[in-house]
Amino acid sequence: MKHLRSIPELGADGLTRLLELTNHMVEVNRRPVPKVPALRGRTVVSLFFEDSTRTRLSFETAAKRLSADTMTFSVSTSSVNKGESLRDTVETITDMGVDAFVVRHKSAGIPWQISDWTTAAVVNAGDGWHQHPTQALVDCFTVREARGCERFDGLTLTIVGDIKHSRVARSNIAAFSMLGAQIVLVAPPTLLPPDVAHWPVTVSHSLDDVVGRTDILYMLRLQSERMSQGHVPNLREYSERFGLDARRLAMLPSDAVVMHPGPMNRGVEMLIDPSALPNSLIHRQVANGVSVRMAVLFDLLAGESSAGNLREVAP
Ligand code: NCD
């Protein structure tokens, strides 16, 4: 694997390989000193043109735990503010000698463009509405861990909310269906993409109708920063129809789990305190984020000597 830009490009074999490798990284992270020399001498730069808490910090932590050097590019203090183009920025950083770019950008497709301009590996940390492959890896790994299974045949994943603007939904639909899950999308028609009929999903406009038949309830944030017009005329009405409240929680099957990629909109899609959820995987998602990103960076950068390096990370 040269880049990680999307789940379809990664494919089912790549997905399974990275999930298996994540198990080794979980073991490293359980050690008293969670650090291995696997990527010593490699440099990872994070190039974030959009805000992030979890994704950025977990990539940087992952790189450090593998002993890579890290560089952080901060748009607000860079020459982008002097009008420097994305291409010149990428070429400048490449000249300094980096091995991987971790990229987040508001425009879909930017990771593919960047990979034309650099010899370094490119990891997509979110491109517009399009893809967020490491979030899908995190979510698949977290469900595998919670259910103790490798594939999701017979499980129903219900994704609720702003599907239209969600790169997390697009990546998760691809990844969970590769592992055999049935996928149900729940949203008002205004928050569904026009081509949803071609997706491997069923669609409902009523959370009440489907909540009792779900194994994984995946809540999404309303992406207000990506909305150009009133997709949701009334926030209170949206919450009433699509929010997770105590009544709907009680309708979930007892072994169902609740997930959210964060950041949460409390009072919008989350009407109950998430810490009060008995079956929440939200903290596991964040914790697994570091191990998954270690697996991705290792897979991309460990290179020729990867067999030897793998012994360093294997139990
Ligand atoms: C998501 C993102 O940025 O795509 N967050 C994340 O990476 N955990 C989802 C979101 O912003 O709603």
250 with 143, same domain?
yes
17 with 147, same domain?
no
- Count of alpha carbons within 13 angstroms of residue 36, beta-carbon side: 26
279 with 294, same domain?
no
Instruction: Confirm whether 315 is domain-assigned.
Output: no
206 with 192, same domain?
yes
Ligand 1 pocket by Cβ (under 6 Å) = 54-55, 126, 132, 135, 167-168, 221, 223, 261-262
Which pLDDT tens digit goes with each residue over 59-102?
A: 999 999 999 999 998 888 888 888 899 999 999 999 999 999 99
Can 89 be counted among the known catalytic residues? no
142 with 280, same domain?
yes
Tokens 């952080």 correspond to what residue? 72
| SS3 state of residue 34 | coil
DSSP states along 191-241: GS-TTGGGSS-EEES-HHHHGGG-SEEEE----GGG-SS-SSS-HHHHHHH
Is the peptide bond between 8 and the residue preceding it cis, with omega within 30 degrees of 0? no
Instruction: Confirm whether 2 is domain-assigned.
Output: no
Which pLDDT tens digit goes with each residue over 13-23?
A: 999 999 999 99
Residue 130 has pLDDT above 90, yes or no: yes
Please answer whether residues 24 and 11 qualify as being in contact, where contact means their C-beta atoms are separated by less than 8 angstroms: no
Instruction: Confirm whether 1 is domain-assigned.
Output: no
* Number of domain units in the chain: 2
Which pLDDT tens digit goes with each residue over 137-150?
A: 999 999 999 999 99
128 with 268, same domain?
no
Can 147 be counted among the known catalytic residues? no
217 with 96, same domain?
no
Pocket test for ligand 1, best of 53, 55, 224 (most atoms within 8 A of CB): 55
Hey, what amino acid is at 92? T
Can 104 be counted among the known catalytic residues? yes
Catalytically annotated residue among 22, 43, 55, 156: 55
51 with 170, same domain?
no
Hey, what amino acid is at 264? M
Hey, what amino acid is at 208? D
Stretch 37-61: mean pLDDT: 96
Residue 307 has pLDDT above 60, yes or no: no
Pocket test for ligand 1, best of 131, 163, 164, 168 (most atoms within 8 A of CB): 168
Minimum mean pLDDT range among 51-55, 128-132, 306-310: 306-310
272 with 144, same domain?
yes
At residue 81, the pLDDT reads 82
The strand order across the sheet containing 43-48 reads 69-74, 43-48, 100-105, 121-127
Phi, psi of 170 (to 5 degrees): -60, -45
CA dist 56 and 124 (Å) reads: 11
149 with 208, same domain?
yes
Host domain of residue 152: 133-284
CATH code of the domain covering residue 255: 3.40.50.1370
Q: Which pTM does this prediction carry?
A: 0.96
